[in-house]
Structure 1
Amino acid sequence: MAINPENLQIVASQFAPVIGGVGFAVVVGWVITTWLKIKNGYPLESSWGKPLHPNGGGEAMERVRLISQENAQLRAELGSLKDRMAVLERIATDKPSMLAAEIDGLKTKQLN
């Protein structure tokens, strides 16, 4: 069975818009993916899959250092707030007589 060149041309002309549309969709998808990576700070990749690191220099490293310091300070503050919250929860849930006895015990310790 021989392939008729006229039929091949008809089939190719029918599939050309579909193939072009798929190609266009692939390019648009790649552009959107790259834009989202840049927007959210993900590293870009070369054609071989290796990450490309933008040359941020010292400014980016300084910003990371400052954010790390702030993170450590906030974690310390959160720890102290958790401790205070535990004390307040204990005060709220203890019986009043037990709380009064504990306060009196602390007063006598301070006097001695």
Structure 2
Amino acid sequence: MRYLVQDGDRTVISCEVGPEHLQGHGIVHGGVYCALVETAASIGASLWWGDRGRVVGTANQTDFLRPVGSGRLTATAVPVHRGRSQQLWSVEVVDDDGRLTARGQVRLANLTVPAPGR
């Protein structure tokens, strides 16, 4: 994965599709989309949460919309909700032609760092 934009308000990552990303029918395996979706959302959520602690994914729901067998996939994540205890991020994955190939959302828990001495 290449990290193109890393920000607490928007994250963009890309992946060049190779044979190792394909399932038996010659199209990108769904797990590749899930990994792109969760990675993009987790980076943005972590950067927004910052030094307050860490974030961990609690749910990843990804829909596969268009088959891809080669080229580059680009995932863009933006926040839907950012609260004290959790965040929800929406992610769109497009192909080289800008066509939507997958869409997902990731819910993340915000974990605080205990104060020193606790």
The question of a shared fold, defined as TM-score above 0.5 by the shorter chain, is answered with no
Q: TM-score range by the shorter chain?
A: under 0.3
Q: Give 1 or 2: higher strand fraction.
A: 2
Bigger proportion of residues as helix: 1
Question: What's the TM-score once normalised by structure 2's chain length?
Answer: 0.24
Instruction: Point out which structure has higher relative CO (alpha carbons under 8 A, 6+ apart).
Output: 2
Point out the structure with max Rg over C-alpha.
1
